[in-house]
Structure 1
């Protein structure tokens, strides 16, 4: 698989969206809902510095992260009932980016405003609309993720920062054959079974679906710690890729007890949400949640599941960042494809098409 690396770009010179290398005019994950508290949150997304905040009435807003007076990041300011106040000279901005107040000055200059971004909170996920120009407005609502409100599941999550391009995480999540080598302590299992799993890859529109079935497997440590399996299990891995995020449903049932075609099958379930958002051309944010269906001691079991999930992502982070560092050491060396690369390759073609490559 030949991976084209994007040229490093100076963040301060990339506010012209026409030069951005990412698909635009779509929703991207900007934060988890729990991250927006009573303080502003500054984050660079798709090479654009953004500040997000939640007002006391629960409304969320996103502005460019700069005061139009002397360029201090607004993320260093404070949140008030009417908006965010700059921490340098106290200019107050509302959710539209308009300056409402200049302390010590009766008249607010008409040009005192900053750019605002459409932002929504959907199923405890904060989405931001990244348009191709300043006037771009959303043509749809953000994706739903109803697992977060499904009474069968409990969930939690976190945010990771990667020193690697975001599409390397797409590759990793669409190819779960690596579990048997990278995640031996958690969700791995027999490496041979993973590499030889029955695999089906489907594409439709801007999405890719990868289904992997592994009957007769030995349950990995995370599974046996969270669920009372009897012996061998029939495992499944279903990954659905979208340009802004992936949904992964994995799990297992006791071997030969239920059909893996049954959407209502029992057993142990892990339902993961994976929002992968570029920060810059060479770095990204990984917003994840993991939901499960504990059958006993739900609080303790979910704590274990989240700890084990975080451990697997720690392992992935080491691999992906080391992979990218080595790609830069050997920039002219091509990579070859093997049978597990079908899903990642299809996803890359979708992203290339959407960004006009």
Structure 2
């Protein structure tokens, strides 16, 4: 049985807990261990010979070498210092040259699940915290109408600055002129609808009668001007973005079955520390049968836009550190990001309250 243990309370950062967070993608776990710090927890991720995924504290219980410096074997993960072998639950199976294995020879493990090629890790408030439900599904990754690819970025910036960026796509006309941008004035004046259901915030932007931006024009045979949409769904663990366009007046923008060029983005934004984050992303598109498959083009140009976002967000954070706490002015495009921040703060406060009075693990 997997032993799920959290670090001492003193080392837990102020993030919402009792949540599934994105830890990576299935294709990242091959024949070597993967070191990754999530919510302040140094972890090693690996896949056993029978295909089971595992997450352990990245520290051997003997001389504290990171287990990510070891090797993956059929039965588990072997430390690269003195060869102690651990199974997926953190239990030591073998100590070379020694028959007796002490009961304390184990390391902390975390619940790691694999669903739709996404790795999800459970971060609980207390040592005995267990998920009440499976991690979110993402059916786009197995939808035959779509093809996708993705990657991972590391940000030297707090994760909520990335949320702000994803929930406010008005910046496209200024930051992403060569790919998915388009007319900046149209972006800033797009009809904007923001709604909330529980912990989820949805931002919908419509831009009818637009010029197709470069990525769109290269991927789809539009006849001329287009009706364009952007739908962003924020969840505390990830963000889903459905963007696309169709020929002008081809259908209603509120029709969930509308045709045309589609891009469906998955964005797993997971804190590394208080001031750094991991950004796990995929982009899926629906190739037009009459054109050369644009999937790689869409993937490459999406990656290029994220590189541009990364430059902006990290520069923004450096400036925040340089100037310190100064008042800022909100404008009309900030409604979605502000609601998401309130959700995170409410969940963070609830996690902090739940930890009160709990002894360190």
Q: Same fold (TM over 0.5)?
A: yes
2:196 is aligned with 1:241: no
2:96 is aligned with 1:103: yes
Where does residue 183 of structure 2 map in the other structure? 190
* Distance of 1:341 and 1:87 partners within structure 2: 49
Question: Normalization by structure 2: what TM-score?
Answer: 0.93
2:323 is aligned with 1:354: no
Matches within 5 A, 1:258-277: 258-277=251-270
- How far 1:286 sits from its partner (Å)? 0.2
Match of 2:75 among 82, 92, 100: 82
2:166 is aligned with 1:178: no
Answer yes or no: is the 8 Å Cα contact 1:93–1:99 preserved in 2: yes
Match of 2:204 among 197, 207, 211: 211
Where does residue 8 of structure 2 map in the other structure? 16
Structure 1: any 5+ residue segments left out of the alignment? 1-13
Where does residue 147 of structure 1 map in the other structure? 140
2:125 is aligned with 1:161: no
SS of residue paired to 2:127: coil
SS of residue paired to 1:355: helix
- How far 1:299 sits from its partner (Å)? 7.0
Where does residue 299 of structure 2 map in the other structure? 306
Structure 2: any 5+ residue segments left out of the alignment? 1-5, 351-361
Answer yes or no: is the 8 Å Cα contact 1:119–1:127 preserved in 2: yes
Answer yes or no: is the 8 Å Cα contact 2:21–2:123 preserved in 1: yes
Where does residue 30 of structure 2 map in the other structure? 37
* Distance of 1:261 and 1:174 partners within structure 2: 19
Where does residue 285 of structure 1 map in the other structure? 278
Answer yes or no: is the 8 Å Cα contact 1:38–1:56 preserved in 2: no
* Distance of 1:226 and 1:60 partners within structure 2: 36
* Distance of 2:298 and 2:291 partners within structure 1: 10
Answer yes or no: is the 8 Å Cα contact 1:53–1:61 preserved in 2: yes
The superposition leaves residues 18-46 of structure 1 with CA deviations (integer Å, 9 ceiling, x where unpaired) of: 64210001100000111011111110000
- How far 1:242 sits from its partner (Å)? 0.3
Answer yes or no: is the 8 Å Cα contact 2:48–2:88 preserved in 1: no
* Distance of 2:287 and 2:145 partners within structure 1: 9
**CA RMSD of the aligned region, Å?**
1.3
Question: Normalization by structure 1: what TM-score?
Answer: 0.94
Where does residue 332 of structure 2 map in the other structure? 339
The superposition leaves residues 179-225 of structure 1 with CA deviations (integer Å, 9 ceiling, x where unpaired) of: 00000000000000000000100011101000000000001000000
* Distance of 1:311 and 1:298 partners within structure 2: 22
2:24 is aligned with 1:26: no
Relative distance call for 1:299 and 1:243 in structure 2 (3 A) is: farther
